Amino acid sequence: MTDAKFRENKLHDIIHFGVRAVVGTIFIAHSLGKFNPGFVGFLNQIGIPAEMQFLIALAEFVPGILLIIGILTRISASILSVVALGAIFHVKHATNLTGQGGYELELLLLVSVLSIIVVGPGRVSLSHIVKKIPRFLQ
């Protein structure tokens, strides 16, 4: 392998990990507020039962962690894509792309997790280190 090709592969691995880490961190950060009791009031306003609070918070928190460490990446990204779609269509009502109440962040996160589903965990991941995890679970 040429030196240039080796550097290109390393850069690809680092950037792929960076995307996973940033997307995972954003979902974790957004999940933390959903563990607070005040989130129940918001859920009631948009017609979601209060019992869903913990499930919604966990649906962002746990897959976010799994994305960062790179295990069950495709499953985690799939869960997060459902979360992003729910935010776009149920919370933001897909009315304004930008500005107040815009869904551009959610759309960017959706596209990011969809690309992670397609590409997989990459080489800088626990899945790659363990190697015994079936590909469809990576």
Instruction: Assign 92 a pLDDT band (cuts: 50, 70, 90).
Output: confident
d(CA 44, CA 25): 27
d(CA 131, CA 138): 9
In the numeric block, the tokens 């005040």 are attached to 38
Asked which of 95-99, 107-111, 116-120 is least confident by mean pLDDT, the reply is: 95-99
pLDDT at 133 over 80: no
- Highest mean pLDDT of the ranges 40-44, 107-111, 130-134: 107-111
Q: What is the mean pLDDT of the chain?
A: 90
What number is the average pLDDT over the span 38-52?
Answer: 91
- Highest mean pLDDT of the ranges 2-11, 20-29, 47-56: 20-29
d(CA 99, CA 128): 40
- Which pLDDT score is estimated for 3? 67
Cβ atoms 60, 80 nearer than 8 A: yes
The torsion region of residue 71 among left (phi > 0), alpha (psi -120 to 50) and beta comes to: beta
pTM of the entire structure? Answer: 0.88
Cβ atoms 27, 80 nearer than 8 A: yes
What number is the average pLDDT over the span 31-51?
Answer: 92
- Which pLDDT score is estimated for 85? 97
pLDDT at 1 over 60: no
Helix axes 104-119, 73-86, angle to 10 degrees: 160
For residue 125, give both structure tokens.
Answer: 């991941």
